[in-house]
Structure 1
Amino acid sequence: MMSSAQNDAITRVGKGTPAGELLRNYWQPVALVEELPDVRPVRAVRLMGQDFVVFRDEQGRYGMLDRDCPHRGADLAAGRLEAGGLRCAFHGWLFDVDGQCLSTPGEPVGSSLCKRVRQSAYPVIEHSGILFAYIGKGEPPAFPHFDCFAAPKEYTFAFKGLFECNWLQALEVGIDPAHASFLHRFFEDEDVSASYGKQFRGASADSNMPITKVLREYESPEILVSPADYGLRLIAKRPIDDEHTHVRVTNVVFPQAFVIPMSAEMTITQWHVPVDDENCYWYAIFTSFGAPTNKQQMREQRLELYELPDYISRRNKRNQYGFNVHEQLTETYTGMGFDINVHDQWAVESQGPIQDRTREHLGTTDKGIIAYRRLLVDAIEKTQAGEKTLMVIDEEAAAHLTGPASIDGIAPAERWDEYWKEADASRRAAAPWPAPKA
């Protein structure tokens, strides 16, 4: 049983908190590239209870600064992009992507004040349509050579969405293989040919069996959890008959991401990023091993649910997530529509702003969650002791972190372990881009 103090230590993310200090040692997604348009590419962001402004200057360089101007605290997110930086609208002080003050126009001619002023600035790098920032101390870790970063941009698609709850309970739904048989249960199967861009709609690899049928009819998976260089590998096995087993391979990438199969050709790498203690964004990179992604179609699908500019779900706790009693009786397990993001959102937001883990009773299917929490607590303790933690890596180590394999398919019962490895290798060999061996 977890105590309140232990729950606080692994959930709260403000400056100086145990989990907050750990997470600051890693690159964090802060915005989609599409959120910085050609006309005035400036975006206010909130990360782990701190306020920043992200922008792209006239030279195309990305920067992230503390949001309050160091002069008298006005909002730099309302500033003007000009003269090589971001200019505060209050008194015209100008800052570049490195936080250097370039101009203090109200000061007397010859004033040296500008040279003595610097705004806190943070490294920003773009990968596959997402802007990542580093707000920790010292040098940031290297990016692993995972598929989502190795694939050409034509083969990726990025999106995000807001969950109004703590980051950890949002992350834990993605490392729980058992919930899909219930939370995402559909009473009838759709035409799998119309499944593009939708999770849990296509057929399992090497079969004609819709994944919706697998989840509905084989609801008690055997879950295997094993350590990996990047975190954890989870395998969910669902025996179909004496000769066949459904195998689903997913991964936890420490500290707060997971890699899961979306379809036979596509995977999802998803981060859960704290806005503050009680809100988080999920950021996802969809990676295709087949044809280039149809970004327009995938974006239009998601904008049917998510409302700009803050990527808030149109189905949320204020309208009961669109609950329909007739649908719950006849079409879906939840009665909350056919988008699994809504199902996940209801599940994690219904636990409260910060889940009270002192009241939970974990079972056998929670193996992955238990294993992840142990990794998290260990890393927090190492951070407090000034020791290096998992996935704080250099370029040499990053080059050896590829994949990871993420498969959903029907395997020969006696060769299920060989099957998923062979299926992953086969998909990589056929990919139109050089997908590195997992």
Structure 2
Amino acid sequence: MMSQEQNDLITRVGPGTAAGEVLRRYWQPAALSEELVGARPVVPVRLLGEDLVLFRDNEGELGLISRQCPHRGADMAFGRCEDNGLRCPFHGWHFDRNGQCVEQPGEPEGSQMYKNIKAKSYPVVEKNGMIFAYMGPGLPPALPNFDCFAAPDTHVFAFKGLWECNWLQAMEVGIDPVHASFLHRFLQDEDPSEGYGKQFRDKAADTDIPMTQVLREYPRPEINVEETDYGMRIISLRHLDNGRTHVRITNQVFPEAICIPMSNEMTITQWHVPIDDENCYWYSMFTSFGNPVNKSLMREQRLQEHRLPDYAPLKNKQNNYGYDPDEQEKLTYTGMGLDINVHDQWAVESMGSIQDRTQEHLGKSDVAISRYRRMLMKAIKAVEENNDDELPMWNGALNVEEIRGPLSIDAIGDTDTWQDAWKEADTKRRAACEWPAEL
């Protein structure tokens, strides 16, 4: 359990809040590139409790500025994307991608007032179908050389989904290895050959055993947590009955991302990005170490579960997440269909908009969650004391661009030598990769 004061400290993200100031020191996913496709590349963005508007100018460059016009507060999401910037329809004030006002056509001839008008703006970068914003002080840190960034665009598929809950409980489900054996339990095993683009549908590495069977039959993993330069490595060991051990390597990427294996050839890097205190988006980059990603198929699969333009899930609390008691008896542990995103969504939204951690009771299997919260509290203290260089993966002695991976994989090896099995499996996967994927 924790106090209400502590819970507020680690969950609230608006300007000036403790956790919000930590998150603002890292690049945050702000939108998908596909949201700016079309004749008018302008999209409203609500991020860390701030209302912004993202646009692409005539030169193809991106701008992220305040949604409220500095003149009279009109909504710039309805701005005219013209003259290499964004123009407010109210009085024609024109802003470039850095938020600088460059024209006030209604002011007296020769007025220089525009030179002193600047909308709030944030730096943005675009990587493999995702647009990131830096909302913190000073110059932004470098991006790490993660696989999802190092891979060519052909091998990465980006998507997002809306969850109606606080970012922290959304992230914490991804660093909980035990829940997969229950929340994502399938009572029948699908044909793994039909599982492209779906998590836990592969066979366990170098076996004919479906991953769904491994998770179902071995629900008590031994969990080890190691702190790393990017956050934490979580090692889950499921000791099989034949002297072999299934090893699953997942990661917490500070401050609010995870990197996990999706299949034998694909990983998922997923950020849990606060819209505000009570809503978040998950942003995922699916990275292939094998063939180029079939983006059209994966997008089609996702759009069967989500609506546009807000990427909200079709199954939600209003329709009980599609719950079917007959299915719960015969097919899935939840009775909520075969998409595990829906299972996670139900779990984290059912906790309430902001989980009341004053009432929780963590067990030994929650070791990664406990370690992460301590890491976050340490980061909050570092920011409060103006010691940003002590933050994980920031601008201190560490060269951020040298951070690679993180290694995320499922492997099976002899129980006595499991420490080597996952490293050897990753080395083999990277050696066969079509793009440079050295760690």
Q: Same fold (TM over 0.5)?
A: yes
Residue aligning to 1:137: 137
Letter in 1 for 2:421: Y
Residue aligning to 2:50: 50
2:417 matches 1:415:
yes
- Give the superposition deviation at 1:392: 1.5
State the 4+ residue runs in structure 1 displaced beyond 4 angstroms. none
Find the residue that maps to 2:149 and give its secondary structure.
Answer: helix
Work out the CA distance in 2 between the residues paired with 1:172 and 1:414: 30
- Give the superposition deviation at 1:317: 0.4
2:402 matches 1:400:
yes
Give yes or no for contact 1:14–1:49 (8 Å, CA) kept in 2. yes
Work out the CA distance in 2 between the residues paired with 1:411 and 1:79: 58
- Superposed, which structure 2 residues align to 1:241-390 within 5 Å? 241-388=241-388, 389-390=391-392
- Give the superposition deviation at 1:221: 0.6
Work out the CA distance in 2 between the residues paired with 1:404 and 1:132: 19
Give yes or no for contact 1:279–1:353 (8 Å, CA) kept in 2. yes
1:346-399 CA distance string (max 9 Å, x none): 000000000000100000110000010010000001111111211223797123
Work out the CA distance in 2 between the residues paired with 1:393 and 1:232: 18
Give yes or no for contact 1:223–1:234 (8 Å, CA) kept in 2. yes
Letter in 1 for 2:119: Q
- Give the superposition deviation at 1:107: 1.0
- Give the superposition deviation at 1:50: 0.6
2:165 matches 1:175:
no
Residue aligning to 1:28: 28
Residue aligning to 1:101: 101
Work out the CA distance in 1 between the residues paired with 2:438 and 2:126: 21
Letter in 1 for 2:352: G
2:434 matches 1:432:
yes
Letter in 2 for 1:281: Y
Residue aligning to 1:81: 81
Give yes or no for contact 1:142–1:394 (8 Å, CA) kept in 2. no
Count of residue pairs the alignment pairs up:
437
Listed as ranges, the gaps of 5+ residues in structure 2 are: none
Work out the CA distance in 2 between the residues paired with 1:396 and 1:2: 33
- Larger mean CA deviation between 239-248 and 257-266 belongs to 239-248
Listed as ranges, the gaps of 5+ residues in structure 1 are: none
Work out the CA distance in 2 between the residues paired with 1:68 and 1:363: 46
Work out the CA distance in 1 between the residues paired with 2:335 and 2:114: 59
Give yes or no for contact 2:142–2:401 (8 Å, CA) kept in 1. no
1:85-108 CA distance string (max 9 Å, x none): 000011111000011111111111
Work out the CA distance in 2 between the residues paired with 1:141 and 1:398: 8
2:184 matches 1:184:
yes
Give yes or no for contact 1:46–1:275 (8 Å, CA) kept in 2. yes
Work out the CA distance in 2 between the residues paired with 1:275 and 1:142: 23
Residue aligning to 1:198: 198
Work out the CA distance in 2 between the residues paired with 1:253 and 1:49: 22
Find the residue that maps to 2:275 and give its secondary structure.
Answer: strand
Work out the CA distance in 1 between the residues paired with 2:103 and 2:206: 63
Find the residue that maps to 2:169 and give its secondary structure.
Answer: helix
Q: 1:394 to 1:64 in 2, by over 3 A?
A: farther
Work out the CA distance in 1 between the residues paired with 2:341 and 2:186: 14
User: Over the residues paired in the alignment, what is the CA RMSD in angstroms?
Assistant: 1.0
Q: What is the identity percentage for the equivalent residue pairs of Structure 1 and Structure 2?
A: 60
The TM-score normalised by the length of structure 2 is 0.98
Give yes or no for contact 2:261–2:410 (8 Å, CA) kept in 1. yes
Q: 1:154 to 1:394 in 2, by over 3 A?
A: farther
Work out the CA distance in 2 between the residues paired with 1:412 and 1:6: 43
- Give the superposition deviation at 1:121: 1.2
Work out the CA distance in 1 between the residues paired with 2:260 and 2:397: 25
The TM-score normalised by the length of structure 1 is 0.98
Give yes or no for contact 1:146–1:403 (8 Å, CA) kept in 2. yes
Work out the CA distance in 2 between the residues paired with 1:164 and 1:399: 34
Work out the CA distance in 2 between the residues paired with 1:93 and 1:204: 59
Residue aligning to 2:122: 122
Residue aligning to 1:240: 240
Residue aligning to 2:158: 158
1:167-199 CA distance string (max 9 Å, x none): 000000000000000000000100000111000
